[in-house]
Structure 1
Amino acid sequence: MAAHPSITVAVHGATGRMGRVLLNAIEHAHDLRLVGTASRSTAIALTEAGEDARLHDTVESMLAAERPDVVVDFSARDAVLPLARAAAQSGVDFVTGTSGLSPEILEELRAIADDHNIGVMVGPNFSLGAVVLERVAREAGRHFDHAEIIEMHHAGKADAPSGSAMATARTMVEARDGKAFTNAESRVVNVDDVRGGDISGVAIHSVRLPGLMAHQQVLLGGPGETLTLRHDVIDRESYMPGVLLAIREVGNRHGQLTYGLGALLWPEQEGE
């Protein structure tokens, strides 16, 4: 029996924390083949990338030399649109886990996917547990009018609040047909911004400390009761099953932007 051809993958942001874990995960996936990497920094020897994966200084040189099926990005927010455009010009599907993308960036990515008939996948969080938490929070938000989110990350995380926290808040509001939550106001505020940020009445609080990885709590309150949902990432390995699923599925979604891993886990309810 002939073997199924492997999906060829290139990784941008390969020398970062997530990038290095992803290289190892791809190398151990029987149906994926790592063909190239790119990074702004070449200081780290990518021995885990394998002999066939060459390190490039730019994504353009990587795409031209390696011709991958999919390029995966874990880098910086300002790099996402240039990367997506470069991938689209080469007819390469694009997956990004870069956090904190604005609605304007998402709309541009949607247009890129449509104009060039490529698959574009954005994952605010590729952890399966985090996506399940978001789904439960979406349902719970239908039944509570007060909600707050506390997200906690390592001290080196560049953005605040996290993309996961913003995505959770937005999907909770969407489940209420856009009806905002009620954000309890303090009559006396002793420290500026102590009540956190706000997305449609959902207060979001960001914690950045050494010793943390990635953690999120969703707190909902009603008369005489509270509900607390919590998810903790202890190791970046937890993101790999979701990233590999996105790599395998993005090629089946040409011409569209897929936002969130939930669309792949529960496709029958996509867009609900």
Structure 2
Amino acid sequence: MTKTTERPIRIAVSGAGGKMGREVVKLALSDPGFELAAAIDHSRSGIDAGLLAGAEESGIAVTQDLELALVEARPDVLVDFTVPEAVMTNARTAIKLGVRPVIGTTGLSQDNLDELDKLSREKGLGIVVAPNFSIGAILMMKFAAEAAKYMPYVEIVEYHGGQKLDAPSGTSIQTAEMIAENRREFRQGHPNEKEVIEGSRGGLYDGFRIHSVRLPGIFAQQEVLFGGDGQTLKIRHDSYDRAGYMPGVAVAVRRVLDETGLVYGIERFLTT
């Protein structure tokens, strides 16, 4: 099956009762190129997935059993916005059953990614793991990576709500990775600087800092600040609603069908 297929792509949504999961359900119901095949959530079993998402009735009841749902519904893609403790088991199950995972959960280790790449290649399937599906956030990361070639003094400040579990965010880590590819590693700041309060200077990555802000009322923002003699450059992205991630999710769902192995991030899909 490829992206040129005439039939809709059948999507199963894991974490369908969560905030991101509900948006994915609405995407699957509203895009004529998609079809909602199954909805899985441990605490919302029996509820119609469409009504749960605030959309029209879908005829698809939420179920607790991921494996049974995938066997019975036979989806093409599993979109997973759950938690790191569950997503690896979910992805292993999906790959075993020939379903391609698209994962938006952050906090996976490099060992996790290596395992998913190996499993998917053995099955001849694609898998996408993306710290951020926002097109604007992807552009912010690309622009920051380009700026690092010319302005190597840089710090990242990321802002999220007070209930976010991981710090720093997956987006800031991916941004740091992309910057590091274009920046000679060196330790910024005064060589004798001292933190009067431990952690005041943020987390250290490849010689530069990542700062995580967690406060109620914030959704998701990130600034990448570059400094040079007599000048600064700020590259900032602000997200205000989870619907802003759905165009990127749609791209990943379509493109994962043509991949083999793991694709980390969706930036490659935006240029080819």
Question: Would the TM-score normalized by the shorter structure come out above 0.5?
Answer: yes
Q: How much has 1:40 moved relative to structure 2?
A: 2.3
- Cα deviation per residue 1:159-217 (whole Å; 9 max; x = unaligned)? 111000000000111133xx324321462321111111111122011111111100000
1:237 paired residue among 236, 243, 266: 243
The answer on whether the counterparts of 1:153 and 1:212 sit within 8 Å (CA) in structure 2 is yes
**2:223 is the alignment partner of 1:217:** yes
Tell me what 2:179 maps to: 172
Distance 1:181 1:23 in 2: 45
Distance 1:207 1:16 in 2: 23
**2:133 is the alignment partner of 1:126:** yes
Tell me what 2:234 maps to: 228
Tell me what 1:52 maps to: 59
- Cα deviation per residue 1:33-74 (whole Å; 9 max; x = unaligned)? 001111122179431374332311121121112110000000
Instruction: Return 5+ residue gaps in structure 2 as ranges.
Output: none
Q: Report the residue type matching 2:267 in the other structure.
A: G
Distance 1:180 1:80 in 2: 33
- Structure 2 CA distance for partners of 1:44 and 1:228, relative to 1, 3 Å: farther
Tell me what 1:31 maps to: 33
Q: Secondary structure at the match of 1:229?
A: strand
Q: Report the residue type matching 1:21 in the other structure.
A: E
Tell me what 2:17 maps to: 15
**2:160 is the alignment partner of 1:153:** yes
Distance 2:251 2:164 in 1: 24
**2:14 is the alignment partner of 1:5:** no
Distance 2:217 2:88 in 1: 32
- Summarize the alignment of residues 245-260 of structure 1 with structure 2, pairs less than 5 Å apart: 245-253=251-259, 255-260=260-265
**2:143 is the alignment partner of 1:136:** yes
- Structure 2 CA distance for partners of 1:49 and 1:70, relative to 1, 3 Å: farther
Deviates more, 1:19-28 or 1:125-134: 19-28
**2:191 is the alignment partner of 1:189:** no
Distance 1:110 1:142 in 2: 30
Distance 2:56 2:93 in 1: 22
Tell me what 1:76 maps to: 83
The alignment covers a number of residue pairs equal to 262
- Structure 2 CA distance for partners of 1:241 and 1:7, relative to 1, 3 Å: same
Distance 1:5 1:213 in 2: 36
2:170 paired residue among 151, 160, 163: 163
Moved >4 Å (runs of 4+): none
Q: Give the structure-2-normalised TM-score.
A: 0.92
Distance 2:149 2:125 in 1: 35
- TM-align CA RMSD: 1.7
- Structure 2 CA distance for partners of 1:49 and 1:110, relative to 1, 3 Å: farther
Q: Report the residue type matching 1:63 in the other structure.
A: L
Q: Give the structure-1-normalised TM-score.
A: 0.92
Q: Identity of paired residues, percent?
A: 38
Q: Report the residue type matching 2:271 in the other structure.
A: W
Tell me what 1:270 maps to: none
- Structure 2 CA distance for partners of 1:234 and 1:181, relative to 1, 3 Å: farther
Q: Report the residue type matching 2:39 in the other structure.
A: T
Q: Secondary structure at the match of 1:55?
A: coil
The answer on whether the counterparts of 1:147 and 1:181 sit within 8 Å (CA) in structure 2 is no
**2:129 is the alignment partner of 1:115:** no
Deviates more, 1:120-129 or 1:100-109: 100-109
The answer on whether the counterparts of 2:15 and 2:80 sit within 8 Å (CA) in structure 1 is yes
Instruction: Return 5+ residue gaps in structure 1 as ranges.
Output: 268-272
